[in-house]
Amino acid sequence: MGRFDIAIAGCGPCGLAAALLLHAQGHHVTMFERFEQAGPLGSGLLIQPTGLAVLAKLGLATRILREGARIDRLHGMAGRRTVLDVHYAALKGRHFGIGLHRASLFGALHDDVLARGIPIRTGRTIAASVMRGSRRHLKFQDGSESEGFDLVVDALGAWTPLAEAAGCQLAYGALWASLAWPEGAGFDPHVLAQRYRRSSTMAGVLPIGMERAAFFWSLRADQFAAWRAGGLAAWKAQVRALWPQCEPLLAQISDPAQLTFARYAHRTLKRPAAEALIHIGDAWHSASPQLGQGANMALLDAWALAQSLAAHRDIARGIAAAIAARRRHVRLYQGLSWLFTPVYQSDSRALPFVRDRLVGPLSRLWPATAIQAAMVSGLAGDPLRALRLQPTGATPLP
């Protein structure tokens, strides 16, 4: 195995995980981040058995389990109909999800990066990259340029300037807020709960540990300005009408700034690599987070890259092996996202009718129960075996 000079573009969970895995193999790793101080963006996410397997390899699973909330079930209702009912128990093995604040995932990874002395150059907004000889250099917005690297790992997300434009923005996004857990409101601390009105309106409550909950509300991007202009009172009335149980959560929201609007895109690069450059995570493949797979897929990408570089003496072969190891699983989940997102986030009237009256009832029968659980958990396509990973098997704290 060679030892390479590697630049990681982006200091989110994807880039941090890649930095830790590559540094552990003896590579010289340097991270670049546009913010003066790196920090997490967003609210809650769901760590699946796939992502947890990588975190276990990093020695961070115990912390994640301690700070997060064990999720055993995903449950969604449209009116009085149950239209989503996924139990991890339908899978073979001791699988579960972990509801987690993004700050907890970021903190675990970032703390370890600092502890290992991996340098992070902040305040460096990347604009492009260029090959000079056999090494790739990063070009910054201020016109300056980095030294050359054997490999640049692009973990800058869906809007990366290091790749060609691809895909499209989705019509729907979501408002997110992190709030105190509503004790006594009847929410199950081990269930991701959702409520729908057709597919144009969706609300969700995700336990994220540390006595916190992530609340989200689906919203068309072109309606965001109207939402702000309409005021919180009007919006809260909509939420109450859909899901009165959310009142203790709504009572904690007094300022629109408590809610962050997240806009999503669906894109997959046809060529996720170039000479001395590889795109991983959302920089390679991004989709609606309806399946909760973004962070988990990124962790698998980082693991595949590190293992592939360990198995090959040159960068080109390592990159090719990493892409080959992940391409099938990426295609599968990009396809699933494209197929199922309109069922839960769109203006369609026909799709939610079929969902509520046919798909929902059938999904509670075997083998649909196991198929749904495999899809949601990220285990469809058996990605762990392909990457020589094992489910953590750890038991989270109650």
Helix (H) or strand (E) holding 254: none
- What integer pLDDT is reported at residue 386 of this predicted model? 92
Res. 173: pLDDT tops 70: yes
Q: Is 186 left (phi over 0), alpha (psi -120 to 50) or beta?
A: left
The one-letter amino acid at 299: L
pTM more than 0.85: yes
In percent, the amount of the chain with pLDDT more than 70 equals 95
What separation in angstroms does the CA of 302 have from each of 73, 113, 227, 259, 382? 27, 15, 38, 30, 17
Among 128-132, 159-163, 208-212, 359-363, the minimum mean pLDDT is found in 359-363
Structure tokens given for 268 = 């997959």
Q: What is the pLDDT of residue 273?
A: 98
The DSSP element (H or E) to which 351 belongs, if any, is helix 350-354
Q: Please give the tally of structural domains in the chain.
A: 1
Give CA–CA dist 160/128, Å, rounded: 9
For residue 396, pLDDT beyond 70: no
Q: Please check the confidence at residue 17 and state whether its pLDDT lies above 50.
A: yes
Q: Supply the CATH number for residue 45's domain.
A: 3.50.50.60
Looking only at the bridges linking them, the beta strands covering 212-220 and 5-9 are unpaired
Which tens digit of pLDDT belongs to each residue from 72-113?
999 999 999 998 899 999 998 889 999 999 999 999 999 999
Query: What is the Cα–Cα distance from 270 to 155, expressed in whole angstroms?
Result: 17
Structural domain includes residue 208: no
DSSP of 362-386: HTTSTTHHHHHHHHHHT-TT-HHHH
Q: How confident is the model over 114-131, as a mean pLDDT?
A: 98
SS3 content of the chain, % helix, strand, coil (to 5): 40, 30, 30
Q: Is residue 149 part of a domain?
A: yes
- Say how many C-beta atoms besides its own lie within 10 A of residue 261's C-beta: 15
Does 314 map to a domain? yes
Q: Confidence band (pLDDT; 50, 70, 90) for 359?
A: low
Cross-sheet strand order for the sheet of 201-209: 81-87, 73-78, 191-197, 201-209, 212-220, 168-180, 260-268, 285-286
Over range 202-230, report the average pLDDT. 96
Does residue 350 fall inside a structural domain?
A: yes
User: What letter does residue 346 receive in the DSSP assignment?
Assistant: S
Residue type, 140: F
Query: Can you tell me the mean pLDDT for 125-132?
Result: 98
Provide the domain limits for residue 302: 5-167+265-386
Domain assignment present for residue 13? The answer is yes
Backbone angles phi, psi at 224, to 5 degrees: -65, -45
Query: What was the pLDDT predicted at 395?
Result: 44
What is the SS3 assignment for 75? strand
- Residue 25, classed as helix, strand or coil, is coil
Q: Assess whether pLDDT exceeds 90 at residue 167.
A: no
Task: Note the pLDDT of residue 394.
Answer: 45
What are the tens digits of pLDDT across the range 285-317? 998 766 668 999 999 999 999 999 999 989 999
Which pLDDT band, with edges at 50, 70 and 90, does 1 fall under? low
Indicate the average pLDDT of the chain.
Answer: 92
* Distance between first and last Cα of the chain: 42
pLDDT at residue 347, as a whole number = 87
pLDDT of residue 398: 37
Render pLDDT for 221-265 as a digit per residue (tens, 0 to 9): 999 999 999 999 999 999 999 999 999 999 999 999 999 998 888
Q: Does any domain span residue 338?
A: yes
pLDDT at 291: 61
* Domain-embedded: residue 232: no
Mean pLDDT of 201-205: 95
Say if 391 falls within a structural domain.
no
